[in-house]
A = this chain, B = another copy of it.
């Protein structure tokens, strides 16, 4: 029975079966004021009997859609699922449902996905793409609770949530330096890529790196890549093939670091010869086969905070909030004290052979 009529059963039907008005049913399902226990029981019985479920789109027309939207820029970056997990968990006991709008595979589709969420009248938006015009965001934030993750500019109409990228980069450099490395290279996205300007996470990591390196009296040195494991692999391969001493590589995020590890593996180098630090501490970093040293900025915590901020906004907070998460180093076996390269012919030959694999 319940199953039979699943859709096409409306609040009207429930009202008829319960023998009350639509408004009464509406009150019950919204937990609104002014419902007697008897009425509630009667209505609830009718709801159960008919298997009634209110349609979100109809509710959204006047009230709220009970939906929180999260925009994620790259479904392949394993950092984002952590944010989702944190958010989903934080939302578990509420009546809100989380939906994700993935930005398309091409870049600069972030705004499009955010817009799609706004079009769907979600009650709040969490967005991660940073390459969105601020004016546009300010305007969106005026009508919809909005949390931007990784946006460092302060704003009037929306909340922000960032990791302390300046500090994170410093920690990465210091970690390599403490191990004894004196050549510390930063592998990051080409400046032509989105999300690389000065106030983005990647831009700040660049700045933090440059400052930390200068503070230690070392030369800054960059490898710029297009993004994705493959480009990082190629970039690292070029760097490491040309190098003959130990190199510490600070990759701007774990996805890139994995590409660097590919190159390290292909060249048969030890962690002492090529030490790699990533950023985000994704799940895979902890795997013993990777053992990637990484900067942790708890993604699950970020997700939970983002949801909290949204719910506060929905609850009536009018002042903007700007939260900062403090990163920490997760030291693993991908970094080690510097070690000279084997200069014997055998080693060189082996490396040579493995490059061509």
Contact = CB atoms under 8 A, between A and B. Distances in A.
A58 B65 CA distance: 12
Contact of A121 (B57, B97, B144, B262): B57
A105 interface: yes
Interface stretch (A28-36, A135-143, A345-353): A135-143
Nearest to A117: B99
Contact of A92 (B78, B81, B104, B258): B104
Interface stretch (A83-91, A175-183, A217-225, A304-312): A83-91
A116 B121 CA distance: 15
Contacts of A265: 288-289
A101 to B, nearest CB: 6
A261 B288 CA distance: 8
A207 interface: no
Contacts of A67: 120
A54 interface: yes
Contacts of A116: 97, 99
Given A100-B102, A104-B92, A287-B262, A136 B3 contact: yes
A337 interface: no
Given A85-B76, A100-B100, A265-B288, A139 B4 contact: yes
A139 B3 contact: yes
A57 B60 contact: yes
Interface residues of A, number: 58
A56 interface: yes
A98 interface: yes
A36 to B, nearest CB: 27
Contacts of A261: 287-289
Contacts of A193: none
A128 to B, nearest CB: 14
A242 interface: no
A27 interface: no
A85 B89 contact: no
A304 to B, nearest CB: 12
A319 interface: no
A239 interface: no
A283 to B, nearest CB: 7
Given A55-B119, A289-B290, A84 B102 contact: yes
B119 A54 contact: yes
A115 interface: yes
Contact of A101 (B60, B65, B99, B290): B99
13 contacts: A6-B139, A53-B119, A56-B120, A57-B57, A57-B60, A58-B61, A75-B84, A76-B81, A76-B85, A92-B104, A92-B105, A100-B100, A289-B289
State the 10 A-B residue pairs at the shortest beta-carbon distance, nearest first: A57-B60, A100-B100, A57-B57, A265-B288, A75-B81, A97-B116, A56-B120, A7-B143, A57-B121, A289-B289
